[in-house]
Amino acid sequence: MRSLLQKIKLAPKDFLFFLTAVAFIGFTQNIMDSTFNNFLNETFALSNIQRAIIELPRELPGVLVAFVSAVFFFLGSRRLGLFANLLGGIGLILIGFFSTNFSTMLLWLFIYSLGQHIFLPLTSSIGMSLAKEGQTGKRLGEINGAMNAAMIAGSLFVFLGFKYLHFEFKTTFIISAVSLLAAALLLSFMKADKPVPSHLRLKYRKEYRLYYWLSILFGTRKQIFLTFAPWVLVSVFHQKTEIVAALLFIGGIIGIFFKPLLGKAIDKLGERFILSGEAVVLVFVCLGYGFARVIFPEGLALVITAICYILDQLLMAVGMARATYLKKIAVHPDEVAPTLGLATSIDHIFSISIAVAGGLLWQILGYQYVFLAGALIAVVNFFSARRIAIVPVR
């Protein structure tokens, strides 16, 4: 404990501000991940197709990230992060209190999601800017570890609140909004960084083609986890809000140890090994989601699906490896942040397509085929990751 306090005292102030801000964001993220599907199901009684359509306003902001970042280039990454969390907090308040019907909820969801997606690439770019040479994976692992601890708190908050304190969804929206506003305040305390010219934020480089492709594959894989995995738990296995929160809590506890170790493993073993390994595990995760209920009795199938959900949650952290890979191959250091933003926009074009196509596939053939497609994407991801050249650290 004393050693940890000593490390905190010696850590740069900007890093501590950022670490705490990310923790508040992680707290909000798990509250929303735990409750949003049940909020939709209980408030609007959506069909599977309607659930997929929701991903259009939720994921469209991801497509716009590069363009919005270019418009607000003069803010620099840290002030842009402040703006993003203000936007997200306002969006959550609007969802919680002014969703008078399904259409208005979609509008407020767009505002919240825009803030969330603007900040998404900034987590890695700001985090890597705070790292020492050759320790970017370690630094991102520390940041992900802090976010993970806060996500555990968010899951526990939802579990206890809905299980014992009779929470309403409005309560979670209020707490989540306050958390994002606190993150914005902490980011305002950080020293402003140098703005990257707007033309660089929209610049496509052929040198980064493999990185863009890996980002596209991540976008499709991510959408399956965010949209269809929890929807299996809620609509197929009929699990309540507190059960989804409990699974996220378990994943968070494991992540306390897993994510920092993953960051160190990226530095030691390299991005090719880590991303290839992720793809192999995802094949089995997708098959578990899709076919556990077909092969096994209901109770055992639920346990297998829950394990797949926890593994899937942990593997989302492998995104660190794509970020460190980009940093190594970057033609110029100033291109890292804008390229992360552009890749986010590119991957979201495909993630929206997957959301709509997955919803149609679910409706026509059944949910098993959504995850069979996910397993095939994971196979493609494996062979793509094997193309990563071992490059020196920059």
pLDDT tens digits for 279-333? 999 999 999 998 988 888 888 989 999 999 999 888 888 888 888 888 888 877 7
- Alpha-carbon distance 150 to 284, whole Å? 28
Torsion of CA 109, 113, 116, 118, to 10 degrees: -140
Which residue stretches of the chain have pLDDT < 50? 1, 4, 393-394
Distances (CA, A) of 311 to 173, 235, 266, 317, 356: 27, 20, 18, 11, 24
Cα dihedral: 216, 221, 223, 228 (round 10):
160
- The CA distances from residue 336 to 200, 208, 236, in Å, are 10, 11, 41
**Confidence (pLDDT) at 4:** 46
Report the 10 Å Cβ neighbour count for 164.
9
pLDDT score for 1: 47
State the residue for tokens 């359509």.
Answer: 53
Nearest to 231 by CA among 102, 38, 364: 38
**DSSP, residue by residue, 6-49:** HHHHHS-HHHHHHHHHHHHHHHHHHHHHHHHHHHHHHHH---HH
Give the pLDDT score at 186. 94
Query: How far is Cα 394 from Cα 386, in angstroms, rounded to an integer?
Result: 21
Model's pTM, two decimal places? 0.72
Q: What is the pLDDT of residues 355-385, one digit of tens each?
A: 778 878 888 888 888 899 889 999 999 999 9
Cα–Cα distance for residue pair 94/239, rounded to 1 Å: 27
Copy the structure tokens of residue 276: 């290839």
Identify the pLDDT of residue 39. Answer: 84
CA–CA separation, 388 vs 271, rounded Å?
8
Buried b (16+ CB within 10 A) or exposed e, 17-36: bbbbbbbbbbbbbbbbbbbb
Give me the pLDDT at residue 77, please: 83
User: What is the structure's pLDDT at 178?
Assistant: 95
Looking at residue 207, its amino acid is E
Q: At what angle do helices 13-44 and 136-164 cross, to 10 degrees?
A: 40
The alpha-helical segments, DSSP class H, found in 296-366 are 298-315, 319-329, 336-365
Contact 125, 337 (CB under 8 A): yes
Domain range 2-190+197-385, CATH architecture? Up-down Bundle (1.20)
- Do the Cβ atoms of 203 and 336 come closer than 8 Å? no
Amino acid (one-letter) located at 216: I
**Residue 213 phi, psi (nearest 5):** -65, -45
User: Which amino acid makes up residue 64?
Assistant: L
The string over 64-95, giving b where at least 16 C-beta atoms fall within 10 Å of a residue's C-beta and e elsewhere, is bbbebbbebbebbbbbbbbbbbbbbbbbbbbb
